[in-house]
Amino acid sequence: MPVSSVATQAERQGFAFHPSTTQPGAFRLALGAYYDAIDPAVMYGMSFRLPQFSMDARYGLGQGWSLKGHLNTMFVVTELLFGGSYAKRFERWSWEASLTAGIFIGKLGQFGFDSLLLSPEVRPEVAIGYDMGKIALTLRGSLILMGAERVKVGEVWGELDNDNLFVGHSEMLYVENTTSDDSIWYFGAGVMTTRAFYALWVLFPDSPSLYTYPRLVAGYEF
């Protein structure tokens, strides 16, 4: 069977989201955006919501292992994660397990607010991929785990009353399209289920409630 474009990329430079068994030293950088379609009724009637800029990176270690990094940020929220992954390929099917850790930062110093939220974050993920020749399909599921959430209002520091290690989970389907110059463009959609402060910490800094909302993603990989 001829080697597909997806298999070639997965074993050479790798993908940002599709399970990849990259060569040692191979590097892939993805720039994109998220949009969370949160119900305006949850946000006190506010229908305007900024997309989040995202950056994902993969550095190949060989033998199925990779280092991974992730950044997403918008006006009031930033997440920065680093970790590793291990992948295996079986003809057209593949799987990958990864674990990243870092920090969640929420900050607002405008509109009369002077607030800062800091928390350690850990994100285990499992991905299942399918090679369609020139297109890589990937279903990724992740848990969002966070430690003690420290909050600063003005000059006063405190902790949220409803701390919970389990903050939420996500299920995303990514479509990564290969090109003749080894770059990749992608899009995807999925569902986020998270505690209120993860996405809406300014409005609900201390609420234990879980909200489910769709997420749309798109971007380009270099």
CATH number of domain containing 136: 2.40.128
Q: Which structure tokens are listed for 50?
A: 């900024």
Number of domains into which the chain is organized: 1
pLDDT for 108 equals 73
Residue 205 domain-assigned (yes or no): no
Cβ neighbours, 10 Å, residue 53: 15
pLDDT for 104 equals 93
Residue 204 domain-assigned (yes or no): no
Report residue 142: phi and psi, to 5°: -140, 150
Concatenating the DSSP letter of every residue in 16-65 gives: SSS---PPTT-EEEEEEEEEE---TTTTTT----PPEEEEEEEEEEETTE
For residue 78, give Cα distances in angstroms to 56, 102, 155. 14, 11, 21
pLDDT for 143 equals 98
pLDDT for 186 equals 98
pLDDT for 103 equals 96
Q: Which domain holds residue 169?
A: 5-198+210-221
Residue 106 domain-assigned (yes or no): yes
Using an 8 Å Cβ cutoff, are 79 and 105 in contact? yes
Residue 69 domain-assigned (yes or no): yes
pLDDT for 112 equals 59
Residue 203 domain-assigned (yes or no): no
pLDDT for 45 equals 45
pLDDT for 8 equals 95
Residue 113 domain-assigned (yes or no): yes
Residue 18 domain-assigned (yes or no): yes
Q: Which structure tokens are listed for 121?
A: 């974050």
- pLDDT tens digits, 152-171: 777 777 676 666 789 999 99
Segments in the chain below pLDDT 70: 1, 39-49, 109-113, 158, 160-163, 200-207
Task: Say which amino acid occupies 153.
Answer: V
CA dihedral 56, 61, 66, 70 (to 10 degrees): -30
CA nearest 216: which of 38, 30, 56? 38
Q: How many residues does the chain have?
A: 222
Report residue 6: phi and psi, to 5°: -65, -45
